[in-house]
């Protein structure tokens, strides 16, 4: 039996990837991290493997950005993470997911959606997948405490 936890980290910002990875590695749990930096890459990775856990950003570009080529990553998507979650539902992929977003509010028609409203909507639409929604802010430790707690709960639920 392989005791490594397979984690798909879907995030397009390198500093945030680094901070999340440092936190995960500090847990001293055997894991295999796979990365996706866009909606399309996340869907491709999900077609290849079903991870044990997904850490998902909410605001993602459509495609990976190659700065040297001048590409802009396609259409920026404030709710790119929702697109990934809906793809999982349509594809029959069941995987616990933790959303880690740097935004406290998301603009949309009819007014901004704050992070607590986002959490309620996502838990309502994806009750079997979504574990929690965390606000990432590199200035504060709160996100680290919340991610550690969510990760510990995931381990208990999955029997790892």
Q: Identify the residue with better confidence: 75 or 133.
A: 133
pLDDT on residue 68: 44
Of the options 3.40.50.450, 3.40.50.2300, 3.40.50.170, 3.30.460.80, the CATH number for the domain spanning 5-158: 3.40.50.2300
Does residue 73 surpass a pLDDT of 60? no
Residue pair 44/33 in contact by the 8 Å Cβ criterion: no
Residue 127 CA to its chain's centroid (Å): 16
Cα–Cα distances (Å) from 141 to 23, 104, 136, in that order, read 11, 16, 9
Give residue 85's pLDDT band: very low, low, confident or very high (50, 70, 90): very high
Using one digit for the tens of pLDDT, what is the confidence trace for 1-45?
457 899 999 999 999 999 999 999 998 888 999 999 999 999 999
What radius of gyration do the chain's Cα atoms show? 15
Does residue 58 surpass a pLDDT of 80? yes
- Helices (H) and strands (E) in the chain — how many of each? 5, 9
Return d(Cα 22, Cα 24) in angstroms, integer: 6
Global pTM value: 0.88
């Amino acid at each position: 039996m392989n005791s490594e936890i397979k984690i798909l980290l879907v995030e397009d910002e390198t500093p945030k990837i680094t901070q999340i990875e440092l936190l995960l590695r500090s847990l001293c749990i055997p894991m295999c991290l796979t990365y996706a930096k866009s909606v399309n890459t996340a869907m491709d990775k999900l077609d290849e493997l079903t991870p044990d856990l997904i850490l998902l950003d909410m605001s993602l570009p459509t495609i990976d950005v190659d700065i040297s080529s001048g590409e802009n990553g396609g259409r920026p998507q404030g709710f790119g993470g929702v697109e990934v979650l809906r793809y999982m539902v349509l594809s029959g992929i069941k995987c616990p997911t933790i959303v880690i977003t740097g935004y406290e509010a998301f603009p949309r028609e009819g007014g901004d959606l704050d992070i607590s409203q986002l959490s309620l909507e996502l838990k309502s639409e994806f009750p079997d997948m979504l574990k929690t929604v965390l606000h990432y802010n590199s200035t504060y430790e709160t996100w680290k405490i919340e991610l550690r707690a969510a990760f510990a709960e995931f381990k208990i639920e999955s029997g790892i």
